Chain A
Amino acid sequence: MALTREQMAQRVARELEDGFYVNLGIGIPTLVANYIPEDMDVMLQSENGLLGMGRYPTEEEVDPDMINAGKQTVTARPGAAIFSSAESFAMIRGGHVDLTVLGAFEVDQNGNIASWMIPGKLIKGMGGAMDLVAGAENIICTMTHASKHGESKLLEKCNLPLTGAGCINRVLTDLAYLEIKDGTFILKERAPGVSVEEIVEKTAGKLVVPDHVPEMTFAQG
């Protein structure tokens, strides 16, 4: 079975470490915040200028001056810091953020990522995505492995205009967890019940399959 959005978030959360500063993009990456282990302290960075994003506010706590980069109302956790956009991107560009998780349309075997523009469709902008992928050393890209029509999104070369060149080294799809190294995808784990053959079939880029590819496990319920 392909992973659900929640399972994808759970799997990404296993890459968190105590004391990590983490930037989570919109969509599945946002859900990762729900799976931070209890015994771990992780600080979420929101690129509009908040380090230490807390939970959503109650009705009484809603404050129009307190939002995240997705423009949602949020709270600040104890120990949070608030700063300007320039300061925020100094952290990002300067490589101070330990882990960045973001979605993508396509990723290729050379670590290129396309996530912001589909020619012919309305282009709203890249927001902070280009700065994030250029600045972070440690990025996990979350995406579906193939389109609804079965076309692979893990390619030899991205078709869509890039968000960043050569900057992605880890990808979690609904079918597999992969690393990118020396111009090839390396299959590290597969979703429960998903065969290596299916992953091979749905990966257009060069793929190395080790002898043993462990199946991901998830707690029931």
Chain B
Amino acid sequence: MAGFDKRVASYEEAMEGIESGMTVLAGGFGLCGIPENLIAEIKRRGVKDLTVVSNNCGVDGFGLGLLLEDRQIRKILASYVGENALFEQQMLNDEIEVVLTPQGTLAEKMRAGGAGIPAFYTATGYGTPIGEGKEVREFNGRPHILEEAITGEFAIVKGWKADRYGNVMYRHTAQNFNPMVATAGRITVVEVEEIVEPGELEPSQIHTPGIYVDRIIQGTFEKRIEKRTVHS
């Protein structure tokens, strides 16, 4: 009886079932808190025409940037992209469709998606190109636009510690988009630095309760730094 044990034995098993054309939600902010090994496994599998939802798209040769090398991403929803030359080139050649989305709206779209809220109104983006074509409604004398929730076939998440039941804690600002991503995948895969026994994590300190998580794997991480800035 596996019960609530969400552990899988390999990265291959962790991404079992991913197919071309699927939507994949990915946690991370820049290169901080990205599911780097799960991304590498998607690259290894060679699935194509993916729709990726992530705040950013990695850098050349690392993170989601890896999936650009074999043109695996057809469309991306992100708030800030273009930290990589390959992305820029594919964007200019119309090889990748980019849907720029305000950062808070992106986070809320996934939060709503995971929480069963199909859409929400926000003042963010009203009167800008982001609001064009969207339903407008006034609340408290102020116009708001209707934004729709996001869910995906797969959600890939980077945690710090998890127990076998899939309860996850994040470390420092590596939390970022990961908790919302974790709630919005039909299959949610979490890779962590350490898997512990149930009972070892303080229940009130769990960021992502195991109910959202389908698969857990322990990995080792490069944790590349994008902008190393030190105190002078």
Query: Would you call A93 and B55 a contact (CB within 8 A)?
Result: no
Given contacts A126-B100, A130-B102, contact A82 B175 (CB under 8 A): yes
Stretch at the interface among B7-15, B194-202, B221-229: B221-229
B173 x A165 contact (CB < 8 A): no
- Determine which residue in B79, B103, B177, B232 has the highest number of CB atoms from chain A within 10 A of its CB, and name it: B103
A47 to chain B, nearest CB (A): 7
Asked if B62 CB lies within 8 Å of chain A CBs, one says no
Whether A48 pairs with B223 at a CB distance below 8 angstroms is no
Which candidate, B16-24, B64-72, B123-131, B148-156, is the interface stretch facing chain A? Answer: B123-131
**In the complex, what distance in Å separates the CA atom of A73 from the CA atom of B100?**
25
Given A47-B103, A84-B175, A89-B107, verify A162-B128 contact (CB < 8 Å): yes
When distances are taken between beta carbons in the complex, the residues of chain A under 8 Å from B108 are 86, 89
Chain A residues within an 8 Å CB radius of B128: 130, 161-165
Interface size on B, as a range, is 35 or more
CA distance A175 to B124 in the complex (A): 30
Contact of A73 among B107, B125, B230 (CB under 8 A): B230
Find out whether the CB atom of B32 lies under 8 angstroms from the CB atom of A85.
no
Contact with B along A48-92 (1 / 0, CB 8 A): 111000011111011111111111111010000011111011001
With contacts A131-B103, A162-B127 taken as known, whether A124 is within 8 angstroms of B225 at the C-beta atoms is no
Across the interface, do A128 and B103 meet the contact criterion of CB distance under 8 Å? yes
Contact B171 A84 (CB under 8 A): no
Contact pick for B229, options A72, A86, A163, CB 8 Å: A72
Q: How far is the CA of A74 from the CA of B29 in the complex (A)?
A: 14
Considering only CB atoms, which chain B residue lies closest to A85 in the complex? B107
B164 within 8 A of A: no
Secondary structure dominating the interface of B: loop
Q: Is the CB of A72 within 8 A of B227?
A: yes
Contact residues in B for A46 (Cβ distance below 8 Å): 173
Nearest residue in B to A70 (C-beta to C-beta)? B227
Query: Bound state CA distance, A108 and B176, in angstroms?
Result: 34
The answer to whether B103 touches A117, judged by C-beta atoms less than 8 angstroms apart, is no
Partner of A85, one of B103, B127, B227: B103
Whether A65 touches B107, Cβ cut-off 8 Å, given contacts A128-B102, A131-B124, A164-B127, is no
A125 interfacial by beta-carbon distance below 8 Å: yes
Contact A93 B229 (CB under 8 A): no
Chain B hits for A63, CB < 8 A: 172
In the bound assembly, the distance between CA atoms of A58 and B123 in angstroms comes to 40
- B102 near A122 with CB under 8 A, answer no
Residues of A within 8 A of B100 (CB): 123, 125-126
Check if A131 sits within 8 Å of B175, measured CB to CB: no
Q: How far is the CA of A81 from the CA of B129 in the complex (A)?
A: 34
Complex Cα gap A55–B223 (Å): 21
Closest to B226 in A: A71
Residue B47 at the A interface, CB < 8 A?
A: no
CB < 8 Å neighbour of B104 from A67, A112, A131, A161: A131
Closest Cβ of chain A: how far from B30's Cβ, in Å? 4
- Cβ contacts A to B, 27 pairs, < 8 Å: A46-B173, A47-B104, A50-B173, A56-B231, A57-B229, A58-B231, A63-B172, A64-B31, A64-B32, A64-B224, A65-B33, A65-B160, A71-B30, A76-B172, A82-B173, A84-B178, A86-B107, A86-B108, A86-B179, A124-B81, A125-B79, A126-B80, A126-B130, A127-B79, A128-B102, A128-B104, A162-B128
Binding site for A on B (CB under 8 A): 29-33, 55, 78-83, 88, 91-92, 100, 102-108, 110-111, 122-130, 160, 171-180, 207, 223-232
In the complex, given contacts A82-B173, A93-B123, what are 11 additional A-B residue pairs having Cβ atoms less than 8 angstroms apart?
A56-B231, A63-B172, A67-B226, A71-B29, A85-B106, A93-B104, A123-B82, A126-B130, A130-B104, A130-B128, A162-B128
